[in-house]
């Protein structure tokens, strides 16, 4: 997979995140992919997922289909 240009990406955390920066961030607006990184290491590595795979992951979380405890 070709790595998305994350140098100019606009990163954000979830509006539900209230844990003082200990979360993951995603970058919106990149065609076909969703980059994910650790908010504590903004200049560190990131993972890039195909958009459809990330959307499936989010749907599974919302319906309680994943054990995240």
Phi, psi of 59 (to 5 degrees): -60, -40
Q: What is the pLDDT of residue 9?
A: 85
10 Å Cβ neighbour count for 9? 17
pLDDT in tens, 13-25: 877 777 666 788 9
Confidence of residue 1 (pLDDT cuts 50, 70, 90): very low
- Lowest-pLDDT range of 4-13, 16-25, 35-44, 47-56: 16-25
What is the per-residue DSSP string for 37-52?
EETT-TTS-EEEEEHH
| Prediction pTM value | 0.77
- The whole-angstrom distance between residue 63's C-alpha and the CA centroid of its chain comes to 18
């Amino acid at each position: 997979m070709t790595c998305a240009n994350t140098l100019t990406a606009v990163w954000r955390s979830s509006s539900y995140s209230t844990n003082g920066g200990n979360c993951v961030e995603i970058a919106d607006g990149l065609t076909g992919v969703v980059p994910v990184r650790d908010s504590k290491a903004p200049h560190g590595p990131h993972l890039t997922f195909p958009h459809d795979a990330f959307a499936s992951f989010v749907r599974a979380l919302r319906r309680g289909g994943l054990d995240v405890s």
